């Protein structure tokens, strides 16, 4: 299982300071205190964004700072609050405090957010300190600093390659043929049927994880049957391998139907790299019989085309992580 990691520094906005000010009006020699309070600093949140499936974007940016609150103004004007900052993370991101390794949050659901650093409170202006005995206070407060924290993010992907196809496309057979080890399912709270995972060795000392996602059925995106739950797993794979049985009478239509399911469930899934593979090549004499366009053609029974398939997937995975 590839684990993506990133370490980032986060600082919430400082609170604005309250100010020292007295009313100044014509013909009013001694105006009362009117120093406004400072605004609150912006908070920083993590927010699950299902269009992401890696932590790669943190390679280009590791510092995140929310806006500070503005200082108070005269005429009892409170400073504007700093804007909150939302840092997008892919579903399946675990947040830990970098130094202690303390677990902070497990961000799974679309739209889920987590407050990671609280903005500082604004300081009070001198108007806030007026009392019957001190009607012209000269006291005011500075804003509180925003919280800061260094965090370690970790993304556990379900698998590198997810197999998607109609029942009987040959997914289980392919996984059994390619994988020499059955890893334990990552410690995720799977509330659904478990996808089967296998480790596929690619180059020397290198391997990737392939998941056999139980059969996609038409209408899955509408939640028919168990399809909806299977589709949830696909969100945590890097590459999608659409498998079409060679003896399918309408491969084109089947691919379209599968893609439609994916799209209706989550349009971002179609932006993920995907390949089309024709399985059971031993059952059809040659690829020339069909005009259908595919990336790979293989037989999990005879082994034909498997090497090309593995190499192709491995190359694509490496391209994704550079
Ligand atoms: P799944 O539902 O997609 O997991 O499909 P299975 O792996 O269970 O395969 C469905 C049927 O197709 C089984 O009877 C397999 O033996 C058969 N099958 C799978 N791969 C091949 C293949 O490459 N060649 C042939 N001839 N049969 C295959
Ligand atoms: Mg199966």
| Tokens of residue 293, six digits | 């366009």
% the chain with pLDDT above 90: 50
Residue with CA nearest ligand 1 atom 14: 168
Indicate the pLDDT class of residue 161, thresholds 50, 70 and 90. Answer: very high
* Dist CA 39 CA 19 (whole Å): 11
Distance 168 CA to ligand 1 centre (A): 6
Q: How far is CA 318 from CA 158, 239, 321, in A?
A: 17, 11, 5
**HEC sequence for 246-259:** CCCCCHHHHHHHHH
List the shell of residues around ion ligand 2, using CB closer than 5 Å.
172
Residue to mutate (ligand 1; options 173, 230, 254, 309; most atoms within 8 A of CB): 173
Task: List pLDDT tens digits, range 174-188.
Answer: 988 888 655 444 433
Q: Is there a contact between 119 and 85 (Cβ–Cβ < 8 Å)?
A: no
Sign (positive or negative) of CA dihedral 85, 89, 92, 93:
negative
Atom number in ligand 1 closest to CA 176: 7
pLDDT of residue 192: 35
Residue to mutate (ligand 1; options 163, 167, 170; most atoms within 8 A of CB): 170
* 3-state class (DSSP) for residue 65: strand
Which amino acids bring their CB within 6 angstroms of ligand 1?
165, 167-173, 215, 279-280, 282-283, 299-301
Could you tell me the pTM of the whole model? 0.61
pLDDT of residue 216: 59
* 3-state class (DSSP) for residue 135: coil
Domain ranges of the chain: 1-155, 161-321
Task: List pLDDT tens digits, range 16-35.
Answer: 999 999 988 777 667 889 99
CATH number, domain 161-321: 3.40.50.300
Residue to mutate (ligand 1; options 162, 164, 166, 168; most atoms within 8 A of CB): 168
Long-range contacts at 302-307 (CB < 8 A, ≥ 24 apart): 303/177, 305/281, 306/177, 306/178
Residue with tokens 């040659």: 286
* 3-state class (DSSP) for residue 64: strand
Give the domain 1-155 fold. Spo0b-associated Gtp-binding Protein; Chain: A, (2.70.210)
Residue with tokens 């909806």: 228
Residue with CA nearest ligand 1 atom 20: 170
Indicate the pLDDT class of residue 41, thresholds 50, 70 and 90. Answer: very high
């Amino acid at each position: 299982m590839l684990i993506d990691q990133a370490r980032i520094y986060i600082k919430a906005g400082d609170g604005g300071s309250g100010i020292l000010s007295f009313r100044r009006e014509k013909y009013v020699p001694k105006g009362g205190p009117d120093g406004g309070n400072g605004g609150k600093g912006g908070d920083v949140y993590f927010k699950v964004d299902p269009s992401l499936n890696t932590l790669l974007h943190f390679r280009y940016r590791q510092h995140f700072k929310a806006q500070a609150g503005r200082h108070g103004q005269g005429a009892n004007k409170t400073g504007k609050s700093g804007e909150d900052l939302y840092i997008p993370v892919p579903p399946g991101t675990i947040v830990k405090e970098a130094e202690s390794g303390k677990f902070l949050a497990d961000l799974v659901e679309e739209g889920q957010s987590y407050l990671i650093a609280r903005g500082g409170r604004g300081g009070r202006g001198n108007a806030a300190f007026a009392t019957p005995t001190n009607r012209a206070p000269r006291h005011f407060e500075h804003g509180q600093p925003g919280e800061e924290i260094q965090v370690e993010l970790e993304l556990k992907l379900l698998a590198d390659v997810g197999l998607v196809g109609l029942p009987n496309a040959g997914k289980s057979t392919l996984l059994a043929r390619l994988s020499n080890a059955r890893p334990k399912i990552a410690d995720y709270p799977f509330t659904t049927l478990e996808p089967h995972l296998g480790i596929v060795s690619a180059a020397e000392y290198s391997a990737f994880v392939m998941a056999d996602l139980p059969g996609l059925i038409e209408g899955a995106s509408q939640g028919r049957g168990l399809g909806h739950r299977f589709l949830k797993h696909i969100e945590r794979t890097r590459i999608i391998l659409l498998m079409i049985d060679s003896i399918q009478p309408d491969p084109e239509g089947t691919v379209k139907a599968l893609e439609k399911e994916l799209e209706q469930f989550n349009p971002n899934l179609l932006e993920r790299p995907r390949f089309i593979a024709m399985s059971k090549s031993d059952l059809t004499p040659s690829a020339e019989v069909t005009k259908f366009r595919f990336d790979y053609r293989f037989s999990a029974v005879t082994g034909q085309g498997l090497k090309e398939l593995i190499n192709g997937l491995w190359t694509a995975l490496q391209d994704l992580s550079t």
